[in-house]
């Protein structure tokens, strides 16, 4: 059974690496015990090759928030005005001529239910369009200013509505710094890297640290300033081996109280452009039973993907973890499709 399954996984991975847009890739599949383990690589990318986690970093930010919650240093119902100057926040969230800026909570940010716009993708001068052309550092204050110049999508905490926006986690990163008394890099190190023994996973703070290059189509681009400024929403760097250790710990209850984690399993469908993804408290859920296939597919994937081709998902139905990177910024749906197809053949 394992041999047949392995061949199916290899076939899916090979199909994706044959795509013209994919120049390199790494895939690691394991079950919880590690009894089953499969590693496939392409284009010279190895198990220990560094890659940009991009939005998988949000799982690290979520971990820190849960640990601070467990330590009673914050509450999910805290208004974010508790952590910022009122003049700084005024105008960040306006909807139908009403200002909701002072009503935003930590929960709104973590569950992506704030309704705030996404400066990475929205507007004529979206960050993505700018970063494709050139590298530059953007401060947190600059991000807030950009948000204020865009329209919010709905009232915060609106039932069954969520909208994916990096700024939610950028703000959470600032709250972590204020409540922990540490830089974000040191908070990740204290709460995650050291407890798990991760020695090659880090949040870069300057350009002296290695920052992997990214593919946009067949063009290699190097954006160290932007990666450094991405912080809590997408700036972490790791390899497949250590990402597997982390994702197992995240869903296995090794980093925070499992009871607290259960409170995150309330999911809302994201905006149409993110279909079929739902969002819970700091992580994605992708239902599998809606996909047409030659056989019935049960359960869902939970975890996160990154816009540069990274992915880290758990498939509880089969107790399988899928992590890796196909390093392609031009199509953020690729790692989602890869994870879905891996789950679909794990019958």
Give Cα separations from 239 to 95, 160, 200, 243 (angstroms).
41, 35, 7, 6
Beta-bridge mates of residue 57? none
Report pLDDT for 294. Answer: 46
Distances (CA, A) of 163 to 11, 113, 156, 171, 284: 34, 6, 10, 15, 12
Residues 169, 118 contacting (CB under 8 angstroms): no
- Pair 50, 210: CB distance under 8 Å: yes
Q: What per-residue confidence (pLDDT) applies to 258?
A: 83
* Chain Cα centroid distance, residue 40: 22
Contacts 24+ apart (CB under 8 A), 37-46: 38/6, 38/9, 38/10, 39/240, 40/9, 40/10, 40/13, 40/14, 42/13, 42/17, 43/17, 45/325, 45/327
| Residues 147 and 167 sit within 8 Å (Cβ to Cβ) | yes
Write down the pLDDT at residue 159. 80
Instruction: Give the model's pLDDT for residue 90.
Output: 92
Q: What pLDDT, on the 0 to 100 scale, is given for residue 2?
A: 54
Contact predicate 77/106, CB 8 Å: yes
With the C-alpha atoms ordered 189, 61, 55, 79, is the resulting torsion angle positive or negative?
A: negative
Q: What is the pLDDT along the chain (347 residues), one digit of tens a residue?
A: 455 579 999 999 999 999 989 999 999 999 999 999 999 999 999 999 999 999 999 999 999 999 999 999 999 999 999 999 999 999 999 999 999 999 999 999 999 999 999 999 998 788 888 888 999 899 999 999 999 999 999 999 888 899 999 999 999 999 999 999 999 999 999 999 999 999 999 999 998 999 999 999 999 999 999 999 999 999 999 999 999 999 999 999 899 888 888 888 889 999 988 989 999 999 999 999 765 444 557 899 999 999 999 999 999 999 999 999 999 999 999 999 999 999 999 87
Burial of residue 281 (number of CB atoms within 10 Å: 0-12, 13-18, 19+): buried
Quick check: bond before 276 cis, omega within 30?
yes
Q: Using an 8 Å Cβ cutoff, are 50 and 200 in contact?
A: yes
pTM for the predicted model, two decimal places: 0.95
Angle at the Cα of 46 (from 42 to 48), degrees rounded to 5?
155
Round to whole Å and give the CA distance between 78 and 75: 5
Ordered by where they begin, the domains of the chain are 2-344 (3.40.710.10)
């Amino acid at each position: 059974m394992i041999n047949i399954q392995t061949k199916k996984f290899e076939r899916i991975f090979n199909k994706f690496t044959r795509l013209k847009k994919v120049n390199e890739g790494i895939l690691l599949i394991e079950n919880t015990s590690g009894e089953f383990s499969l590693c496939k690589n392409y284009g010279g990318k190895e198990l220990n090759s560094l890659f940009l986690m991009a939005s998988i970093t949000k799982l690290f930010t979520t971990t820190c928030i849960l640990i601070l919650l467990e330590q009673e240093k914050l509450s999910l119902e805290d208004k974010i005005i508790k952590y910022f100057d009122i003049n700084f926040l005024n105008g960040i969230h306006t909807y139908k001529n009403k200002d909701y800026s002072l009503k935003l909570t930590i929960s709104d940010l973590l569950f992506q239910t704030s309704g705030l716009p996404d400066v990475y993708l929205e507007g004529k001068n979206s960050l993505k369009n700018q970063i494709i052309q050139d590298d530059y550092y953007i401060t947190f204050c600059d991000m807030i200013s950009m948000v204020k110049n865009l329209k919010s999508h709905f009232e915060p905490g609106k039932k069954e509505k969520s909208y994916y926006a990096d700024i939610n986690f950028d703000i959470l990163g600032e709250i972590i710094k204020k409540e922990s008394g540490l830089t974000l890099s040191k908070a990740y190190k204290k709460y995650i890297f050291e407890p798990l023994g991760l020695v090659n996973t880090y949040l870069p703070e300057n350009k002296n640290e290695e920052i992997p290059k990214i593919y946009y189509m067949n063009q290699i681009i190097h954006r160290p300033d932007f990666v450094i400024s991405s912080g809590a929403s997408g700036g972490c760097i790791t390899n497949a081996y250590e990402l597997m250790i982390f994702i197992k710990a995240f869903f296995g209850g090794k980093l925070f109280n499992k009871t607290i984690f259960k409170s995150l399993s309330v999911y809302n469908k994201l905006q149409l452009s993110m279909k079929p993804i739902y969002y819970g408290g700091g992580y994605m859920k992708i239902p599998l039973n809606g996909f047409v296939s030659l056989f019935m597919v049960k359960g869902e994937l939970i975890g996160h993907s990154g816009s540069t081709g990274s992915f880290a998902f758990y498939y509880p139905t089969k107790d399988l973890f899928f992590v890796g990177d196909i390093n392609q910024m031009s199509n953020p749906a690729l790692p989602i499709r890869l994870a879905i197809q891996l789950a679909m053949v794990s019958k």
